[in-house]
Amino acid sequence: MATQQPAIKNPKLHSNALWTQAFIGLIIIAFVGYFGMFLSHSSQKLTLYLLTGVALGYILTRATFGFAGGVKKIYVTGYGGLSRALLIMFAITMVGMIGIHWYAAANGAVPAFMAEAGDAIIPGSKSVKLLSIATVIGGFIFGIGMMMAGACASGTLTDMGEGATRAMIVLPFFVLGTAPGELVKYQILESPLGAFSTTMYLPDVFGYVGALLISLLVLLLLYILVNKYEAFRKKEGFYEEELFSDEEKAIEPKKEYKFLSYETYHKFFVERWSFLTGGILLAAMFIFIVNTTGSSWGVTSAFSRWSVAFLQNFGFDFSSPAYTKIVEDVNNGLLNHNGTVRNIGIVFGSTIALLLAGRFKFNFKYSTKDVLIYAVGGLMMGFGARVASGCNIGALFSAICNFSLAGWVFMVALVLGGIVGLKLFEGKLNIIPPNRHKS
């Protein structure tokens, strides 16, 4: 969680830039509303995916919340607030998800990987992933790329929405890396290495209560480890406290408070949310998404569709069985793909958050050398994510919170890859946008 910050006594109240950006933000909100109505002509679900994406992007930006930062921030600064918030978010989501799984199973539903034609499927259980050598390889490669690129999958989308032009370099290469990643994953699973794989749904082994308690115990141990490491860094003198910029802080209350005032606007649209607030809201959104769609949050499967749609124009052959479902989705139209629409919504949501706060600006602070590393990092993230069947969202957050053993293994591989990436590139990259701390 972010440390409690002192309130501002004398804020700069009437900035022309703030009101100009807020007006642009309202225009974008109106456009999102129109876009949602347009999508509803094809499917009401598409509108739902768009709006949940907007909400996710808004929360991620408003709380400067990022999954990559859970590894990077504590390693670089020693500050464990974001790491703790991530663990609390996982715990809250698990408690919500165990009820959904248990209730569905009690009414005859089965996990997706066990389902046959006509079976009801436990909501969210499509995120119970196959654990294989591909999970480890993909997670490790993704972890390195995440540090080179300066953000994870969801972070790249929100960074784009916030005006970080670095993300506009990372994203195209991220997308391009997914298509070969899909093929390599297929080849690994079809090779003799594929025999060393399993799909473990923890409630099948420990029961629903046991799976929840064991998962929460692991999170508690990680929480203790984060605290001990933070205390060690403080003791050694290699620690940097998380600080809000002045415009992100709360305003000190006045004796005569008026609801229709700048102070109210600042509270609702400008003041930065804590990491804990962001984690709680993301957990609530995750559970809402599963309840309304039957599936969990994911990001990079949409990128595979974008990659194939683009590369088809240059004569690339996607006749391999690795691409059968992807090609079907591409031929059906990208705007009819749920994940694509939600990813677009995330970008809009982060843009709206910064515009309403009056803090949107384009960031061009990087060197020519950085561009190359961002591009390679994007390729590695795209490739690694699809080899592992997901990124920090699909293969980690969604998998762990749906009680898949593969999610925990991906976490270990991701963290190890992230540490290697930090050791290789620490101090060599400008990977944190000004006044934005989530990456």
Minimal CA–CA distance to 145: which of 375, 323, 344, 355?
Answer: 375
Does 197 score more than 90 pLDDT? yes
**Averaged pLDDT, 99-121:** 96
Q: At what angle do helices 81-106 and 202-236 cross, to 10 degrees?
A: 170
pTM of the model: 0.93
Span 338-388, pLDDT tens digits: 999 999 999 999 999 999 999 999 988 888 889 999 999 999 999 999 999
Burial (Cβ within 10 Å: 0-12, 13-18, ≥19) of residue 294: middle
Q: Write 11-17 long-range contacts (CB < 8 A, 24+).
A: 11/246, 11/247, 11/251, 11/262, 11/266, 13/262, 14/262, 15/358, 17/358
Q: Out of 29-43, 110-124, 247-261, 278-292, which region has the weakest mean confidence (pLDDT)?
A: 247-261
What is the model's pLDDT at position 434?
Answer: 36
Burial (Cβ within 10 Å: 0-12, 13-18, ≥19) of residue 146: buried
Does 3 score more than 60 pLDDT? no
More confident residue, 320 or 423: 320
Q: What is the mean pLDDT of the chain?
A: 92
Span 222-265, pLDDT tens digits: 999 999 999 999 999 988 987 788 788 888 777 777 788 888 89
Is residue 417 within 8 A of residue 425, CB to CB? The reply is no
More confident residue, 157 or 8: 157
Minimal CA–CA distance to 4: which of 275, 282, 357, 279?
Answer: 275
Helix (H, G, I), strand (E, B) or coil at 42: coil
Phi, psi dihedral angles at 251 (to 5 degrees): -95, 135
What is the model's pLDDT at position 367?
Answer: 84
Residue length of the chain: 439
What is the model's pLDDT at position 436?
Answer: 45
**Averaged pLDDT, 122-140:** 97
Minimal CA–CA distance to 400: which of 222, 148, 193, 273?
Answer: 222
**Averaged pLDDT, 41-49:** 95
Phi, psi dihedral angles at 352 (to 5 degrees): -60, -40
**Averaged pLDDT, 332-340:** 96
What are the residue ranges spanned by the domains of the chain? 16-425
Q: Write the CB contacts of 59 (distance below 8 Å, at least 6 apart in sequence).
A: 65, 273, 278, 281, 282, 285, 349
**Averaged pLDDT, 104-132:** 96
What is the model's pLDDT at position 7?
Answer: 59
Residue 353: C-alpha distances to residues 36, 205, 348, 405 (Å): 18, 43, 9, 35
Does 439 score more than 90 pLDDT? no
Query: How many CB atoms sit inside 10 A of residue 316's CB?
Result: 12
Does 2 score more than 50 pLDDT? no
Query: How many CB atoms sit inside 10 A of residue 115's CB?
Result: 15
What is the model's pLDDT at position 297?
Answer: 96
What is the model's pLDDT at position 8?
Answer: 59
What is the model's pLDDT at position 251?
Answer: 82
Is residue 346 within 8 A of residue 54, CB to CB? The reply is yes
Query: pLDDT-derived band of residue 176, with 50, 70 and 90 as boundaries?
Result: very high
Query: Exposure string (b/e) for 47-71, b if CB count within 10 Å is 16 or more?
Result: bbbbbbbbbbbbbbbbbbbbbbbbb
**Averaged pLDDT, 8-25:** 76
DSSP codes of every residue in 220-261: HHHHHHHHHHHHHHHHHT--------GGGSPBPPPSS--SSS
Query: How far is residue 320's CA from residue 136's CA, in Å, rounded to a whole number?
Result: 23
**Averaged pLDDT, 201-208:** 97
- Percent of the chain at pLDDT > 70 equals 93
Span 265-283, pLDDT tens digits: 989 999 999 999 999 999 9
Query: How far is residue 266's CA from residue 76's CA, in Å, rounded to a whole number?
Result: 31
**Averaged pLDDT, 396-418:** 97
Query: pLDDT-derived band of residue 165, with 50, 70 and 90 as boundaries?
Result: very high
